[in-house]
Amino acid sequence: MSLKAQIDAYNVQKDAKLPADVLALMNTTNEELIAQHIKDNALQIGQKVENFSLANHNGENIELADLLKKGPVIISFYRGGWCPYCNLELKALNDYLPQFKTQSAQLVAISPQLPDETLSTAQKNDLEFDVLCDVSNKVAEQFGLLFTLDERIQALYTQFGIDFEHYYGDKSFKLPLPATYVINQEGVITYAFLSEDYTLRAEPIDVMTALESENN
């Protein structure tokens, strides 16, 4: 089943479970975020990525330059372990990991979650790749993906029991747009999927196609 099909199935459940006014608010704020065109200022295909270093879910330091020595790098930016769309995406990427490895690709996921929450996300989803802690969103900002969650959604998520200080160590409510990149060994972006609509995610098969075209 494609990731989109899984997301569509989740959306059906969500629409059946949540009150109409809550769904309307989520849709309105999502449309307003889309209208800001944040992604237009983010890193795009053909641009070079500056080196960065982040700790993984086991506390080990992971450097982009070291990963690129082994092959192309896939980076998936996600909001947090509380986000069902993010968890669906991380699992879908994990399922494709053996195929990515046929292209010598390294896969990492990045979020601003604290180390304990990052470890929890990796364990909950049985992830077999590094999940990196971008506390304070420095790398997300480097990629031009950072935005501040609408105050109405901040209040709604708090009602849902999502404690941002617990997940991120602060209440800045700054998050990265969900985005997936493929970076070649020269450090240049060869594939980019980014959307202000948090319900849309890169299909792993499209990532695989990008890797294959790079190697052919």
Model confidence over 154-191: pLDDT tens digits? 999 999 999 999 999 999 999 999 999 999 999 999 99
Q: Which amino acid does the sequence have at 20?
A: A
**pTM of the complete model:** 0.95
Q: For the segment 190-214, what is each residue's pLDDT rounded down to a tens digit?
A: 999 999 999 999 999 999 999 998 8
Residue 74's DSSP bridge partners are 107, 182
The CATH number linked to 153 is: 3.40.30.10
* Reported confidence tier of residue 18, pLDDT bands at 50, 70, 90: very high
Sign of CA dihedral 166, 170, 174, 175: negative
The pLDDT tens digits of the residues spanning 145-164 come to 999 999 999 999 999 999 99
Q: How far is CA 67 from CA 43, 62, 77, 108, in A?
A: 19, 8, 17, 10
For strand 130-133 and strand 53-56, is the pairing parallel, antiparallel, or unpaired? antiparallel
- Structure tokens belonging to residue 163: 């404690």
* Residues ≥6 apart with Cβ < 8 Å to 209: none
Q: How many domains does the chain have?
A: 1
pLDDT at residue 23 in the model: 96
- By residue range, what is the domain housing residue 211? 3-215
